[in-house]
């Protein structure tokens, strides 16, 4: 869109469709990217859907798609899909972002539509052997009472973003498996309203994309598919020059969370814990002994999402290799 210096589009460019329209779907959003901007990969080789200046506070709505689950519900056959699995909406080119910087993406809202999906994909997840080869699908109503997972179980919605990332230095990163240093399909419940996600920048402009909204997800997403839902993630973008991250980190109201990526799981834990240690020693000036002792006392670790940290064997595309781990430093100790 043209930057005419007035109205909600000031400071951004690329096409009139990104300007927020009137109506409740777009209220409070300065730039709206519809799901027609979705694609199955993180890359800097495509034209940005939007260019934006960081640090303006402008809010961008990334609409995500549930079309793949609607198709699976109709025909229960992965081979009949006509739409990509886990598309991400974008990319957004962030002016001034360059390799060695980090994006700080703050999640302000996640707006859900009136239904989601529960789907078991044969050959995936911790329940693949007990669920068998027949695909299970269920349309899950969402209303003011909550997420109606069964006739007897209604849970308060806890929407979160499964897939958020920047482009790699070259080529394209998958939106399914694995998770990457630049983010991707991390499936971390803390990527939710009120959190800020810090992502490494590997190319000029960063090329941020977002997808895979969930209405509610069990920690770890061990079933491989949460209660998937179409929605709009509303975020703002800041730039942190020279932060030099080797993996994402997440800031919540109470904690800093460091994402570990590695194979085997012990390597993932080591890398995430080292990043937490460096945060205390290098960024906050702690002694090595204090950092070691505090992490030993309250530096909790747990598994993250189920997508692994290394590209899977093409013959077994849903079998994770490596691990995503999460390492928590309470803000109260800083």
Helix, coil or strand: residue 237: strand
Helix, coil or strand: residue 184: strand
**CA distance to 194, 285, 298, per residue, from 294 (Å):** 26, 14, 6
Average pLDDT over residues 225-232: 97
Distance CA(22)–CA(319), nearest Å, equals: 44
pLDDT, residue 318, reads 85
Which CATH architecture best describes the domain 16-252? Sandwich (2.60)
- Distance of alpha carbon 55 from the chain centroid: 20
Q: Do the beta carbons of residue 211 and residue 264 sit within 8 Å? A: no
Query: In this structure, what token pair is assigned to residue 22?
Result: 């009137």
Query: In this structure, what token pair is assigned to residue 244?
Result: 């030099």
pLDDT, residue 59, reads 98
Residue 6, pLDDT > 90, answer no
pLDDT tens digits, one per residue of 103-161: 999 999 999 999 999 999 999 999 999 999 999 999 999 999 999 999 999 999 999 99
Calculate the average pLDDT of the chain. 92
Give the count of beta carbons closer than 10 Å to the beta carbon of residue 98. 15
Helix %, strand %, coil % for the chain, to 5? 15, 35, 45
Q: What angle do CA 298, 101, 107 make, to 5 degrees?
A: 60
Query: In this structure, what token pair is assigned to residue 192?
Result: 């939710």
Q: List, in order, residues 6 or more apart from 246 with CB less than 8 Å away.
A: 181, 200, 271, 275
Sign of the alpha-carbon dihedral angle for 129, 133, 134, 135: positive
Residue 11, pLDDT > 60, answer no
Q: Where are the domains of the chain?
A: 16-252
Q: Do the beta carbons of residue 99 and residue 202 sit within 8 Å? A: yes
Region of 69 on the Ramachandran plot (φ > 0 left; ψ -120 to 50 alpha; else beta): alpha
Q: Do the beta carbons of residue 188 and residue 165 sit within 8 Å? A: no
Q: Do the beta carbons of residue 159 and residue 112 sit within 8 Å? A: yes
pLDDT tens digits, one per residue of 175-225: 999 999 999 999 999 999 999 999 999 999 999 999 999 999 999 999 999
Query: In this structure, what token pair is assigned to residue 136?
Result: 């299970």
pLDDT, residue 170, reads 96
- Of the CA atoms within 13 Å of residue 179, those in its CB half-sphere come to 31
Least confident segment among 1-5, 159-163, 204-208, 295-299: 1-5
* Helix ranges (DSSP H) in 197-315: 265-278, 288-298
pLDDT, residue 209, reads 98
């Amino acid at each position: 869109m043209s930057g005419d210096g007035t109205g909600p589009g000031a400071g951004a460019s690329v096409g009139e469709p990104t300007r927020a329209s009137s109506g409740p779907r777009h209220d409070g959003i300065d730039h709206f990217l519809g799901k027609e901007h979705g694609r199955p990969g993180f890359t800097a080789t495509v034209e940005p859907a939007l260019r934006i200046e960081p640090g303006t506070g402008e809010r961008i709505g990334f609409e995500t798609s549930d079309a793949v689950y609607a198709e699976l519900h109709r025909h229960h056959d992965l081979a009949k899909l006509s739409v990509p699995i886990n598309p991400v909406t974008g990319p957004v080119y962030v002016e001034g972002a360059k390799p060695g910087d980090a994006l700080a993406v703050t999640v302000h809202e996640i707006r859900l539509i009136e239904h989601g999906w529960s789907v078991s994909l044969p050959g995936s997840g911790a329940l693949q052997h007990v669920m068998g080869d027949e695909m299970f699908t269920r349309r899950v109503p969402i209303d003011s009472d909550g997420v109606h997972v069964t006739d007897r179980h209604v849970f308060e919605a806890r929407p979160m973003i499964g897939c958020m990332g920047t482009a790699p230095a070259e080529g394209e990163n998958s939106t399914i498996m694995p998770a990457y240093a630049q983010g991707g399909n991390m499936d971390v419940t803390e990527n939710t309203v009120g959190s800020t996600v810090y992502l490494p920048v590997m190319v000029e402009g960063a090329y941020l994309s977002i997808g895979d909204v969930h209405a509610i997800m069990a920690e770890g997403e061990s079933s491989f598919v949460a209660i998937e839902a179409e929605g709009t993630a509303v975020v703002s973008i800041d730039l942190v020059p020279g932060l030099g991250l080797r993996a994402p980190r997440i800031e919540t109201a109470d904690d800093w969370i460091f994402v570990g990526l590695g194979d085997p799981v012990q390597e993932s834990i080591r890398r995430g814990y080292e990043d937490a240690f460096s945060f205390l020693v290098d960024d906050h000036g702690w002694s090595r002994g204090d950092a070691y002792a505090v992490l030993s006392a309250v530096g909790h670790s747990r598994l993250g999402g189920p997508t692994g940290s290394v590209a899977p064997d093409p013959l077994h595309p849903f079998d994770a290799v490596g691990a995503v781990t999460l390492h928590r430093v309470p803000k109260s100790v800083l």
